[in-house]
Amino acid sequence: MCKLMIEGGRQLRGTVDIQGAKNAALPVLAACVLCGSPCVIHNCPGLLDVDASCKILEHLGCRVRKERGTVTVDPTGVTEPGIPDALMREMRSSIVFLGAIAARLGRAHISFPGGCELGPRPIDLHLAALRRLGLVIHEEHGYLDCHCTGRLHGETIALSFPSVGATENILLAAATAKGMTTIINAAREPEIADLASFLNRCGAKVRGAGESVVEIEGVDALHGCEHAVIPDRIVAATYMAAAAATGGEVELRGVRQAHLSPVVPVFLEAGCAIRIAGNRLFLRGAHPLSPLRCVRTMPYPGFPTDAQAPVMAMSTLAAGNSLFVENIFENRYKHVPELVRMGASIKLEGKVAVVEGVGTLFGAPVVAADLRGGAALVVAGLAAEGVTEVTGLHHIDRGYTSIEQDLTRLGAQIHRAVANG
């Protein structure tokens, strides 16, 4: 077991490249199952969740090769319709394999997925949508046993909530279904558009991805292609928060301006100076930071729930009170008690958090309880006086490729060490 040792109080300065997006890479890897020839995925981040996806692909019968940010998947040998419980439990997004396996083999047998415990994240939207496409699903003792007769068929599906995972599962299942599928109230996240771009390169006919209505005209078969995963907007937002919290000045390379449009106004409100030129973002922190009137997490193009925790860590040092309203996941405040251990002043009431800015945070032993909460503790540790020890790194490693190496490039005093016990 490892821990991050952070000696805080240093301004971040320098340039860092933003990794490929975890939440785009995972559904693209699942989509490889649908193809009849090899796929080459570039800019694929080296993450625990990507490793878990590759294990699932290999179990299904794919041949997988990883080399320097590129994953090559040969799906021609896919014959296995089941995913072992141990693999399903490694990450929540493993459920996205269901639509791809069912469409490829006409049957699937998987357990319910695992991942970060962020409160109820039912997969009922996924299952209801796949049933509309003709998949027969039996739920029993934590397993889903699924089959269909012949090909899945197109259907109009109106989602009660713009679920990213459900939208992805529908895209995968409908790409080779018979007829036209229309998704109403589809998720609009950039990762959805990236998945659709990959599918279209493979021969699919997807229109409207990134909008609230998406149409998928089913095709008989898909072929492999080369595809580069989009940059990770949440990693970018995390490093922006770290620079702002330390009063630093950084350049992030490889970003997409449109993808960061929901978070940039929050940093401007905090007093940061931001300039974007092409795929580069320049941020200069302010001292002191200004408080944030109200940060409400919403589906894209609203403020992303995944950026809430790192931005909250930044706001603990603002000159005044900041307000956060978490509208996506009910257990997304697990980082708050750990920030309080470091001297933050935060009051919780249901989905609302009131952050009273303090002059200084202090290093302390803290534990990451989930992925983005862990990133928040790193942000706080970078700005705190003294040494912060962050354990629970398996959560952070699910979404950040060697976070300590990126931050070291920006001048942080941070390293990974073996934890005692």
Residues 188 and 236 placed together within one structural domain of the fold: no
Residue whose pair of structure tokens reads 């990133």 in the numeric block = 375
Question: Is 32 annotated in the active site?
Answer: no
* 351 is an annotated ligand-binding site residue: no
Q: Are 153 and 202 in the same domain?
A: yes
- Specify whether 328 is located in the same domain as 352: yes
Residue 125, annotated as binding a ligand: yes
Structure tokens at 407: 């931050």
Question: What is the C-alpha to C-alpha distance for residues 227 and 204, in angstroms, rounded to an integer?
Answer: 14
Does one domain contain both 252 and 176? Answer: no
Same domain, 12 and 59: no
Domain residue limits at 407:
2-18+231-418
Give per-residue burial for 377-401: e unless 16+ CB within 10 Å, then b: bbbbbbbbeeebbbbbbebbbbbbb
- In a shared domain, residues 307 and 221: no
Q: Are residues 299 and 200 in the same domain?
A: no
The closest of 297, 286, 30, 68 to 165, measured between CA atoms, is 30
Burial class of residue 296 in the structure, from the number of CB atoms within 10 Å of its CB (0-12 exposed, 13-18 middle, 19+ buried): middle
Catalytic residue among 116, 148, 202, 272: 116
Q: Which of 211, 228, 245 is the last residue of a domain?
A: 228
Q: Does the annotation flag 92 for ligand binding?
A: yes
Q: Specify the number of domains making up the chain.
A: 2
Residue that is last in its domain, among 213, 228, 243: 228
Instruction: Please tell me whether residues 246 and 368 are part of one structural domain.
Output: yes
**Co-location of 72 and 147 in the same domain:** yes
Query: Both 249 and 224 in a single domain?
Result: no
> What CATH number corresponds to the domain at position 243?
3.65.10.10
pTM of the full structure? 0.96
Last residue of a domain, one of 228, 244, 261: 228
Based on the fold, state whether residues 381 and 243 are members of the same structural domain: yes
Q: Would you say 120 is a known binding-site residue? A: no
Q: What is the pLDDT along the chain (421 residues), one digit of tens a residue?
A: 899 999 999 999 999 999 999 999 999 999 999 999 999 999 999 999 999 999 999 999 999 999 999 999 999 999 999 998 888 888 767 899 999 999 999 999 998 775 444 344 468 899 999 999 999 999 888 889 999 989 999 999 999 999 999 999 999 999 999 999 999 999 999 999 999 999 999 999 999 999 999 999 999 999 999 999 999 999 999 999 999 999 999 999 999 999 999 999 999 999 999 999 999 999 999 999 999 999 999 999 999 999 999 999 999 999 999 999 999 988 899 999 999 999 999 999 999 999 999 999 999 999 999 999 999 999 999 999 999 999 999 999 999 999 999 999 999 999 999 977 5
Say if residue 355 is in the same domain as residue 331: yes
Residue labelled with tokens 């303090």: 358
The answer on whether 43 is annotated among ligand-binding residues is no
Determine whether the annotation assigns residue 55 to a binding site: no
Q: State yes or no: 123 annotated in a binding site.
A: yes
| Structure tokens belonging to residue 164 | 């990213």
